[in-house]
Amino acid sequence: MKSSILLGIIGPWQIALIVLVVLLLFGGKKIPELMKGLGQGINEFKKGKNESEDSEKK
């Protein structure tokens, strides 16, 4: 039961470890490209969501 409580807590050391692993896996040059793709995906999702809400209102 105690381990399930600890899984929900993310501290600064865990974040630093995740960032380090991402840097090692993808390298410094790939990260901006990944973030750009992530941002475009989020924008497309929001656009689709708004279009869906507009069509439901009509």
pLDDT in tens, 3-58: 555 566 778 888 889 888 888 888 878 888 888 998 999 999 999 888 877 777 66
CA gap 40, 30 in Å, rounded? 16
Most distant CA atoms of the chain, gap in Å: 51
CA gap 20, 27 in Å, rounded? 10
Number of domains in the chain: 1
- pTM of this prediction? 0.51
> What pLDDT does 5 receive?
57
CA gap 43, 31 in Å, rounded? 18
Domain residues for 38? 2-57
Cβ–Cβ < 8 Å for 34, 26: yes
H helices present in the chain, as ranges: 2-7, 12-26, 30-57
